[in-house]
Chain A
C-alpha cells in the first residue's frame, strides 16, 4: 500500500527580549543556576506579573511577517499543572485569544516549486525552568533561570507531507524570526524547539490517521530523524495489523531512540482560565502602524531582490537571504567587491565551510565582508588566481593579516602575467619532459585536451601557483601544437 504522511508542527520560539515576559529578570543564557530568577520567576507568594511590552511588540512583528491577522484584544490564561520546574503551578499562556491569528509561511520544495504552509495561530507564553536529572544522586535539580522567558508558540495546520518539507518549513521559520530580530535563532541553546505531530494514511484517503506528538526537538537534523523514524514506526505498526495510539513521544537525538511519554488518557486537564492578575492587552492601530514601519525586509522579498538586482540563481538567492546575518554579509561583500556572483560563491563555499567547521556565526566571522570583498577584487583583476585566493583566505582566517593585499604582498603571491617569464618556464617544463611531449604530439586530437593538463600542472607547480593559468594554457597550446 502507498502511504501518505501528514505533519503539523508546534514551534516554541524564545523571544530576544532583554528581560522576561512578566518580570524584570534578565533572559541571558548560561548564567549559574537560579541566579537569573527573581521573586516573580520563583513564584513566591504574593508576586504579580507585569507584561513586557517588548514581547508583545515582537509577537506582533512575527504576525506581520507571516501576513497574519493581529488580534486587538489579548487575554492571558493560566494553564494549570504541577511540575517542579513550573514554579507557580501554572503556565501563563494564551488560549482563546492568541495575539497572532491565521497566516502563512511559503517554502520552496526540492523541485523548485513553492508551497504555502498555513499557520493556525501563534500565541505568547512564558517558558518553564529546567529540571536537571543528572549529577544529583537520585534527586533532581531545578534551574529557574529560563522560567518566564518569553516564547511564541507557533502552530501550523497539518499541511506538511514529509520530513523534507518539515525541515524546509523549519528553516524558513528560522529565517523569518532571525530576520525580524525577535529570536537569536540559536538552536543549541533551545531558542527554537519543535513539537512534531505525525500521522499516516493510505494515499488518497481524506480523513487523517491517528497522530502522535514528539516533543522538544531542538535541531533540524533531530526533527528530520524523528519524523522519519515515527513514520516508519506507524506504517510498520499498521501493516502488522496494529493501530496507532494517540500519545506524546520523546525522541533522543543522541541515541536515535524514541519512546512513549504518555498516552491521551494520561494527559492533564489543564483547567485553563483567564489570568486574573493580568488585564487584557489591547493593541491599538497606532501601535500596529508604528511597528509596521519598523519591519525589516522579509526573506521572500530579499530573495526576489537578490535575483533581480544581482542576477543570482534561485538556489543561491534562497540560501543568501535565509538569515539576516548571511544576507547582510553578502550585501556588504558585493558592495566591497562589486561582483555578486563571486561573492555568492565564496560565501556559500569557502566561508561557510570554514564557519561550519569552527561553529562560528557569520556575524562573528574572522574574515569580514570587507576582507572577503577585497580578496574577490584581486581575483577579478587577475592579481591572484582562484587557487591562490584560497591560500590568501586561509591566511586572513588565521588573522595573520587584515587585508588580502597585505597577504599577497607579504607572501609574494602576486600572479605572474609576464609573457616572457611564462614562456621561459614552459620551455623548461617541455625540455624536462620530452617523452610526454612526444606522446602528446602523436596522440589523437580528442585525447590531447586531457594530456595538456599534465603540462599545466607542471607549470603551475614550477611557478608555485603564481602563473596565470589562462596564459599558461594558451602559450602551452601554441608551443605543443606549434
Chain B
C-alpha cells in the first residue's frame, strides 16, 4: 500500500479541516444508513471514501492486515442495486471491517499469525456471512494480537497497531485493529471478539463503543478459536445505537455451533431510548481498589454521576472472588488454547517448515517458526495445566473458581440491575512499555476477565480522557441483557459527547 501525501489527498478525506463539517465518514452507521436511504450518498461513494482513508492513514496506524478493495467496491455496487430494488436493511451498503480471525471465503484469514499467513479460508464464518447477506460491505480484515492472545496488539506477526489518539500508545487488544480502524474512521464499524476483554478494553483505549454479548448469543462458527468456552464475537462502533444495529445482524441461533443458544433475538434498537429512571447501578468495591489509576477513576465516577442525573440509583456491591479471575482465566484460556491450536501442525494448512527430516521435525519446526512468543507461552502454560498430576490442582481448581465468580455476579445482581466500573486500571499505555513483563500485562485484564468467565454481556462506552488518552466505562449486565445495556449506553451518549470525539490524524 503506497500512502498518498496529504497534499495529494482530497480535502474531503480530512476531518481536521473545516471545509466540510461532519463529513460522511464522521457519521454513525445509523446516520449513514439514513443517508444511503435518502440517496444523499451511494454505498460505492461511501466505500471509496473509506478505502481512500485507509490508503492515506493506515500505513501508519496499521489497523488492517488485508484490504479487500475490489471485493468491497463490488459489494458496494451490489448493495446500491439492492437498495434501489427496495431490499435494504440498516446494514446494507455500510462499510465494515472484520477482525482477521473470522474465516472469510477466498480471503486470507491470518489470525495475526505467521502460522496462517498463507491461509485462504475455504468457507465463511456465520458472523461475516450474516453481514454479507445483509448487504454490508467488507473493507478488509483487521490486525489483532496473534490468535487473540494479548492486551496491546503488540503480539501481531504484522506489527503493532498504533492508537489513533496517540501513536506512541497501544490501541489495546486483542481486537486492536478493529478498535483503531473505527476510532480513525477507517470503517463505519467493525467486528471484534472478546475472550477476556478483547473488545471492551481496546474500545475503551480507542474511545469507541464495544460490546461483548452473552456467551452463546453470537455464533462462533468460522471464528478461529482461542479459548472456546470464553470466546464471543461482538460489535465495535462509534455509538451504542450502532452497536445495536450491528448486533441485530450478528446475534441469533446457529445449528453449526452447539454452544450457541436458541434464545429470542429482540430488535436491539427498539429499546434504546427507554428511561433509566429507577435503574440500580452496582459498583463493585473491588473494582475501585488499589491499582486503579486516579484519573481513570475520576472519569468513571463522573460518568456514574451522569447516570444519577438520568434517574439511576447507585449502590456498592461486592464481587469477593474478583481477584481470582486472573489465575483462573490464565489457566482455563491457555488450557483450551493448547488444544485448539494443536491443529496447526504443518500437515494440512498453515506454515510448514522447509525440508522436514521426519514427522517430529515437521511438527517442532513448523510450530516453532509459525507461532509467536506469547502464543507459545500460553500453549506451554495450558499444556502444563492439563498434564497428568496437575489437572486437579490447576484446571479443575480454575473451573471451581469460575463457578464462584459467576455466583458472585448472580448474587450481586440480586441487589442491582447492572454493574459499572472501569475496563482497565489505566488508559492506554505506551507501545513497548510492558512487552517484557507478560504478568504485568495479564494483571491489566483484571476488570474484564470475570465477565467472560461468568458468560455475561459487557459494554464499554467512551467516558472521558485520562492522561490525554480515552477511557471507557464498562457496563456489565445479566445473561441476555444486551438490549438493556445498549439502552443504558445510548442514554449516556444522548447526554454526553465523548463518543463523538475523534482523533486528529494529520
Residues of A within 8 A of B (CB): 39, 42-51, 78, 80, 82, 84, 87-90, 142, 269, 271-273, 276-279
Contact (Cβ within 8 A) A48 B256: yes
**Most chain B CB inside 10 Å of its own CB: which residue of A44, A51, A272:** A44
Taking the closest CB of chain A, its distance from the CB of B215, in whole angstroms, is: 11
- Give the A-B contact count at a CB cut-off of 8 A: 102
CB < 8 Å: which of A43, A46, A78 contacts B221?
A46
12 additional contacts (CB under 8 A) given A142-B347, A271-B386, A276-B227: A46-B109, A47-B222, A48-B221, A48-B257, A50-B257, A84-B345, A89-B341, A89-B345, A271-B391, A273-B386, A277-B225, A279-B259
A42 to chain B: which residues have CB within 8 Å? 348
A45 and B347 CA atoms in complex are apart in Å by 13
Q: CB-defined interface of B111-134 with A at 8 Å, one 1/0 digit per residue?
A: 100001001011101000000000
A42 and B123 CA atoms in complex are apart in Å by 12
Chain A binding surface SS class: loop
A105 and B348 CA atoms in complex are apart in Å by 42
Using known A-B contacts A45-B103, A46-B103, A89-B343, determine if residue A277 contacts B122 with beta carbons closer than 8 Å.
Answer: no
Contact (Cβ within 8 A) A46 B388: no
Contact (Cβ within 8 A) A82 B258: no
Contact (Cβ within 8 A) B258 A49: yes
A206 and B186 CA atoms in complex are apart in Å by 76
Q: List 10 A-B contacts (CB under 8 A).
A: A44-B122, A45-B225, A46-B225, A80-B338, A80-B339, A82-B363, A271-B339, A271-B387, A271-B391, A276-B229
A80 and B340 CA atoms in complex are apart in Å by 10
Any chain A CB within 8 A of the CB of B383?
A: yes
A344 and B103 CA atoms in complex are apart in Å by 61
Any chain A CB within 8 A of the CB of B141?
A: no
A45 and B111 CA atoms in complex are apart in Å by 10
A46 and B222 CA atoms in complex are apart in Å by 4
**Most chain B CB inside 10 Å of its own CB: which residue of A45, A80, A82, A277:** A45
Contact (Cβ within 8 A) A277 B359: no
Contact (Cβ within 8 A) B388 A269: yes
Any chain A CB within 8 A of the CB of B220?
A: yes
B223 to chain A: which residues have CB within 8 Å? 46
CB < 8 Å: which of A45, A87, A273, A279 contacts B339?
A273
A82 and B344 CA atoms in complex are apart in Å by 10
A269 to chain B: which residues have CB within 8 Å? 387-388
Any chain A CB within 8 A of the CB of B395?
A: yes
**Most chain A CB inside 10 Å of its own CB: which residue of B102, B123, B221, B342:** B342
B101 to chain A: which residues have CB within 8 Å? 46
Chain B binding surface SS class: loop
Using known A-B contacts A80-B386, A89-B339, determine if residue A279 contacts B258 with beta carbons closer than 8 Å.
Answer: yes
A271 and B392 CA atoms in complex are apart in Å by 11
Contact (Cβ within 8 A) B342 A80: yes
A142 to chain B: which residues have CB within 8 Å? 347-348
A315 and B255 CA atoms in complex are apart in Å by 51
Q: How large is the interface on B (under 10, 10 to 19, 20 to 34, 35 or more residues)?
A: 35 or more
A78 to chain B: which residues have CB within 8 Å? 339
Q: CB-defined interface of B71-105 with A at 8 Å, one 1/0 digit per residue?
A: 00000000000000000000000000000011100
A271 and B119 CA atoms in complex are apart in Å by 28
B111 to chain A: which residues have CB within 8 Å? 45
Taking the closest CB of chain B, its distance from the CB of A176, in whole angstroms, is: 30
CB < 8 Å: which of A44, A90, A273, A277 contacts B258?
A277
Please name the residue on chain A nearest to B230 by beta carbon: A276
A279 and B262 CA atoms in complex are apart in Å by 13
**Most chain B CB inside 10 Å of its own CB: which residue of A46, A49, A273:** A46
A88 to chain B: which residues have CB within 8 Å? 342-343
A87 to chain B: which residues have CB within 8 Å? 343, 347-348
Using known A-B contacts A48-B221, A48-B256, A273-B335, determine if residue A43 contacts B348 with beta carbons closer than 8 Å.
Answer: yes
Any chain A CB within 8 A of the CB of B154?
A: no
Taking the closest CB of chain A, its distance from the CB of B371, in whole angstroms, is: 13
CB < 8 Å: which of A50, A82, A273, A279 contacts B342?
A82
Any chain A CB within 8 A of the CB of B336?
A: yes
Contact residues of B between 368 and 405, Cβ < 8 Å to A? 383, 386-388, 391, 395
Taking the closest CB of chain A, its distance from the CB of B101, in whole angstroms, is: 8
B339 to chain A: which residues have CB within 8 Å? 78, 80, 89-90, 271, 273
B228 to chain A: which residues have CB within 8 Å? 276-277
CB < 8 Å: which of A45, A90, A271, A277 contacts B383?
A271
Contact residues of B between 332 and 365, Cβ < 8 Å to A? 335-336, 338-339, 341-345, 347-349, 359, 363
A279 to chain B: which residues have CB within 8 Å? 258-259
A51 and B256 CA atoms in complex are apart in Å by 10
A50 and B258 CA atoms in complex are apart in Å by 6
Any chain A CB within 8 A of the CB of B180?
A: no
B343 to chain A: which residues have CB within 8 Å? 43, 45, 87-89
Any chain A CB within 8 A of the CB of B224?
A: yes
Using known A-B contacts A269-B388, A279-B259, determine if residue A45 contacts B335 with beta carbons closer than 8 Å.
Answer: no
Please name the residue on chain B nearest to A140 by beta carbon: B359
Taking the closest CB of chain B, its distance from the CB of A261, in whole angstroms, is: 15
